Structure 1
Amino acid sequence: MIDNIVIAFAGLIGSGKSTVSVALAEALGCSRASFGDYVRDVAKKRGLKPEREELQSIGNELIERGWEPFCKSVLSQANWKKGNTIVVDGIRHIEAIQTLLQLTNPSRFILVFISIGEEDRRARLVGKGINEKEQRIKIDSHSTEMQVISLKQKADIILDGTKAIPALVDQVIKYIYSPSQ
């Protein structure tokens, strides 16, 4: 296993980032942390249903309390220690990247953005029970989703979310081991 790397995943809801991040962590034999999983755990501890609007509200609350404690909590769910490689899923804000860079320094930090066309994304969202256009617009316009598209410009590698999962994992692994990186 390669050490001292943080591979962070960003992308819109339905892009496939969680699926790819799980597969990558398994392929690398490393831990995986997830902002979404952490927020769902907080909701569960509060006795709340894990509905998207509720989760977005909890996410905003955690952000208001401060990026550092939020990011530390996400990393600690995977028992991450300095020097270990970790895959982090669910980056939605530039401040999360900045905070993770500080917390994980001097680890190499790679931001992976998963891009997907609207038609493919819509089909995936329907599969998740999000089928009304109004509902999709409401989700995408929520403040937790607003910065996601801008993260594409910050990405070290952009993946086509319509490709097969093993091919996407291979693409990230090749990037990690590329001599030019």
Structure 2
Amino acid sequence: MAKAFDFEEFKALKISDYKSTYCKIANLKKAKAALFLTEYALTTATVKCIMIPFKKYAEATKAYKQLKSDKEHPLNKVALATIVVDTEGPENCLKVELKAGNLTAEKLLNKSKVFTKKLVKMNLEVITGTPEEEESTDTTATSTADANDPSVAATGSEEGNDAETPTITPEERAVHHKRLKDLTTFFDKLSNMS
């Protein structure tokens, strides 16, 4: 069993130590989830946005619940998210899908400008997922999305997810969405021909 995340030790970090420990691309590529905290007070400074990456989603969920129960930081300034590092394009991109917490995508993007440019040196892309049931004891990642998102039809309903259901990454969701859009366009053209 993994030990609980030590927020006191984390707060004691200097920005340079944080950058060398948590912001390396190799470490971020291994991470599957992260906690995003805005207006977080480290011992040496208060930062507008900071991210704590985790290799497993279950570890991030456990730290989120610990943060929530300890009232360590206001929940409207916290987000639990899945993350993917995309190194394919001309610039590296950190793709984030919000899963829990009250921090909105807009607030995260506004607060994270210094964080993304100076610390992780990547662009940030935020996808808003449906927040998980906070009462749920299931700590596995589930595929959730907006109810209006047509790609949900291909992934199944939220209630049908269990531990064996694979997680859909933001890239896979984008591919599903594009395919669905292409199909819709095709059927529209086909109906106009008759």
Fold in common (TM above 0.5):
no
With normalisation by structure 2, the TM-score equals: 0.30
Judging by fraction of residues, say which structure has more strand: 2
With normalisation by structure 1, the TM-score equals: 0.32
Judging by fraction of residues, say which structure has more helix: 1
Greater RCO (Cα-Cα under 8 Å, separation 6 or more): 1
Higher-Rg structure is 2
